[in-house]
């Protein structure tokens, strides 16, 4: 036992030289091994990736807000339409936005949209003020918390937009909660109000059982900065002199001969009139004759379309659009739905100097359906009749050598009659159930088309909930999709299974 302990002591006091050399060789060899080289490479690559990520994160944080996030929402709520982009590009006024809210607790969607919107114009500046830290801001800007104070430094005019008007909830016709995001609509409307020097005035007729404007359209009128008033042609024989548009919306009782004559004279003198026929299908022979005089003959029955209809419902029409200029503003998917409507056929106008332009029609497989017959053809659902009044001017010049008389024709201001086949196009229930439709956009374009140099800037709110699909009837293709294709797949699968079974 004693010998063993002494031997152990000698080993620790005098290391085995052979063992140390072996260890050194093994260590040296390990540095030259393939596994060490691979491990070193992976370690260096990991460090490099980490450094790149840190640098990239620092760079991204310096980019504009619109490049820091990707909008994956169904309605693309953070995106700004071309209509607003064009408006902001043409805006020369200097705009200051003061957001009186705690930025850290503000809804991310509102915060991101404000930054995205402001980035589109060098003339817009944004400043955030926390009212908890600076309570005097509420008094200074005369606002409540969570409000955007917007000032036009060029004109010194100001307005406000509350967060509650941007992100709001309401109930639809089925009492379901609907949440909408209206950032673009509210901001563009506010800037248009501040920078626009003119206001369009729309007179809505009454006295003929007219319907009320849908709430969605009234909201868009407000956004577009339109001033509205009523005009009763039954009580007065004088047409309004300050009207930019006379809107006849859904009349259910007829006009008198004198009223029709006043309307014709009003248009001939350069006035603008828009007629939207009632969905109740009243018998209005004098109003129908008025429209026919401008080249639009009303059909006797409702219009069906076997080619362009909503999921096989022939009376729910997807019209073909023929839009250009301001009428096409904001129209992207060309999906409009017109339920239960009459239509028009084109006839020669009995009024001079009238040119009719169709905006919406059925396909060639449209039908005028009455109790007695179904007449196939293409039917007009919306159109514009422009009347140009020509005036002759005579210029006479003379001198000592000759005398010359010349006659020229100059175009006076054009009158306009805009016609829509039914109020159903902008029914509130339809618009709320199918928010992807562009019915209200085209309606507002038809209104703004009566104002020279004015573009429709009324941007609709975007629905955050799930939208219902609106699919045009596929006709004969639906048969192959529903029956033939699935049947072929089943038969092919059975044949494949049967062959493998034999094997």
Q: What average pLDDT does range 330-352 have in this prediction? A: 94
Q: Looking at the whole model, is its pTM more than 0.95?
A: no
For residue 74, give the nearest of 502, 464, 439 by alpha carbon.
464
Which range, of 49-58, 222-231, 274-283, averages the lowest pLDDT?
49-58
Q: For residue 349, what pLDDT is reported? A: 96
Kindly give the interhelix angle for 82-90 and 183-195, rounded to the nearest 10 degrees: 30
Mean pLDDT of the residues in the chain: 84
Query: Which segments of 2-98 does DSSP mark as H helices, in order?
Result: 2-13, 17-32, 34-60, 82-90
pLDDT exceeds 70 at position 10: no
**292, 294, 295, 301, 314 from 347: Cα distances, Å:** 7, 8, 5, 17, 25
* pLDDT category of residue 293 using cuts at 50, 70 and 90: very high
Q: For residue 199, what pLDDT is reported? A: 87
Q: Which tokens in the block code for residue 231?
A: 């005009």
* pLDDT category of residue 407 using cuts at 50, 70 and 90: very low
* pLDDT category of residue 216 using cuts at 50, 70 and 90: very high
pLDDT exceeds 90 at position 273: yes
Which range, of 34-38, 68-72, 343-347, averages the lowest pLDDT?
68-72
| Each residue's pLDDT tens digit, 55-97 | 877 776 665 555 555 555 556 778 899 999 999 999 999 999 9
Cα 68 from chain centroid (whole Å): 24
Angle at 149 between CA 146 and CA 150, to 5 degrees: 145
Query: What percent of the chain clears pLDDT 70, i.e. is strictly above it?
Result: 79
Give the start-end residues of each E strand in 354-414: 354-361, 366-369, 374-377, 380-387, 390-398, 403-411
pLDDT exceeds 70 at position 384: yes
φ, ψ (nearest 5 deg) of residue 426: -120, 30
Q: What average pLDDT does range 145-163 have in this prediction? A: 95
CB 131 within 8 A of CB 137: yes
User: How many residues are recorded in the chain?
Assistant: 503
CB 365 within 8 A of CB 376: yes
CB 260 within 8 A of CB 205: no
CB 119 within 8 A of CB 65: yes
Which range, of 23-37, 75-89, 252-266, averages the lowest pLDDT?
23-37
* pLDDT category of residue 175 using cuts at 50, 70 and 90: low
Q: For residue 398, what pLDDT is reported? A: 42
Which residues, 6 or more positions from 88, have their beta carbon under 8 angstroms from its beta carbon?
120, 121, 124, 191
Give the start-end residues of each E strand in 415-461: 415-420
In the three-class reduction of DSSP (H, G, I as helix; E, B as strand; rest coil), residue 337 is classed as coil
DSSP 80-130: --HHHHHHHHH--S-EEEEEES-GGGS-HHHHHHHHHHHTT-TTEEEEEE-
Q: What average pLDDT does range 9-18 have in this prediction? A: 53
Residue carrying structure tokens 């401008």? 294
DSSP 271-333: -EEEEE--TT----HHHHHHHHHTTEEEPSSEEEESSSEETTEEEEE-PEE---GGGGTT--S
* pLDDT category of residue 249 using cuts at 50, 70 and 90: very high
| Each residue's pLDDT tens digit, 110-120 | 999 999 999 99
pLDDT exceeds 80 at position 160: yes
| Each residue's pLDDT tens digit, 310-326 | 888 999 999 999 999 88
Which range, of 87-96, 341-350, 420-429, 482-491, averages the lowest pLDDT?
482-491
Q: Which tokens in the block code for residue 370?
A: 């009455």
Q: Which residue has the higher pLDDT, 375 or 407?
A: 375
CB 252 within 8 A of CB 281: no
| Each residue's pLDDT tens digit, 445-503 | 999 999 987 888 888 888 876 555 545 555 555 556 666 777 788 888 878 777 776 55
CB 170 within 8 A of CB 162: no
Q: For residue 399, what pLDDT is reported? A: 45
Beta-carbon count within 10 A of 182 CB: 20
Q: For residue 414, what pLDDT is reported? A: 86
């Amino acid at each position: 036992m004693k010998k063993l302990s002494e031997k152990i002591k000698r080993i620790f006091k005098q290391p085995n030289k052979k063992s140390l050399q072996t260890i050194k060789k093994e260590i040296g060899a390990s540095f030259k091994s393939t596994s060490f080289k691979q491990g070193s490479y992976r370690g260096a690559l990991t460090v490099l990736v980490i450094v790149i990520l840190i640098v990239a994160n620092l760079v991204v944080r310096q980019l504009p807000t619109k490049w820091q996030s990707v909008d994956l929402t169904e309605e693309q709520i953070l995106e700004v339409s071309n209509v607003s982009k064009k408006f902001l590009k043409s805006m020369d006024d200097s705009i200051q936005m003061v957001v009186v809210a705690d930025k850290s607790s503000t809804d991310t969607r509102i915060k991101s949209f404000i930054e995205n919107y402001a980035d589109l114009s060098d003339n817009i500046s944004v400043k955030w003020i926390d009212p908890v830290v600076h309570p005097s801001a509420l008094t200074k800007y005369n606002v409540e918390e969570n409000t955007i104070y917007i000032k036009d430094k060029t004109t010194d005019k100001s307005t406000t937009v509350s967060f509650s008007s941007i992100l709001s909830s309401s109930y639809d016709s089925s009492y379901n909660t609907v949440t909408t995001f209206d950032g673009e609509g509210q901001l563009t409307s506010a800037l248009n109000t501040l920078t626009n020097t003119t206001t369009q005035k729309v007179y809505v007729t009454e006295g003929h059982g007219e319907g009320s404007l849908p709430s969605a359209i009234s909201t868009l009128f407000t956004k577009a900065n339109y001033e509205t008033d009523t005009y009763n042609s039954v009580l007065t024989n004088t047409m309004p002199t300050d009207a930019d548009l006379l809107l006849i919306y859904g009349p259910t009782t007829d006009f008198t001969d004198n009223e029709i004559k006043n309307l014709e004279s009003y248009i001939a003198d350069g006035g603008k009139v828009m007629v939207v026929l009632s969905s109740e299908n009243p018998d209005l022979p004098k109003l129908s004759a008025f429209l026919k005089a401008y080249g639009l003959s009303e059909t006797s029955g409702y219009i069906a379309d076997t080619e362009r209809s909503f999921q096989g419902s022939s009376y729910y029409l997807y019209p073909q659009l023929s839009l250009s200029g301001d009428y096409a503003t904001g129209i992207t998917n060309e999906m409009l739905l017109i339920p239960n409507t009459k239509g028009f056929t084109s006839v020669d106008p009995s009024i001079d100097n009238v040119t009719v332009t169709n905006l919406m029609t059925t396909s060639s497989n449209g039908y005028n359906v009455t109790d007695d017959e179904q007449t196939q053809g293409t039917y007009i659902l919306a159109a514009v009749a422009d009347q140009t009044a020509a005036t002759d001017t005579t210029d006479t010049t003379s001198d000592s050598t000759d005398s010359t008389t010349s006659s020229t024709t100059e175009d006076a201001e054009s009158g306009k009659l805009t016609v829509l086949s039914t109020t159903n196009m902008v029914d509130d229930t339809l618009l709320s159930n199918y928010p992807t439709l562009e019915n209200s956009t085209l309606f507002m374009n038809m209104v703004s088309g009566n104002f020279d140099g004015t573009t429709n800037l009324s941007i609709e709110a975007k629905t955050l909930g799930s939208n219902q699909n609106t699919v045009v009837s596929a006709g004969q293709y639906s048969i192959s999709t529903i029956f033939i294709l699935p049947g072929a797949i089943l038969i092919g699968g059975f044949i494949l299974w049967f062959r493998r079974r034999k094997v």
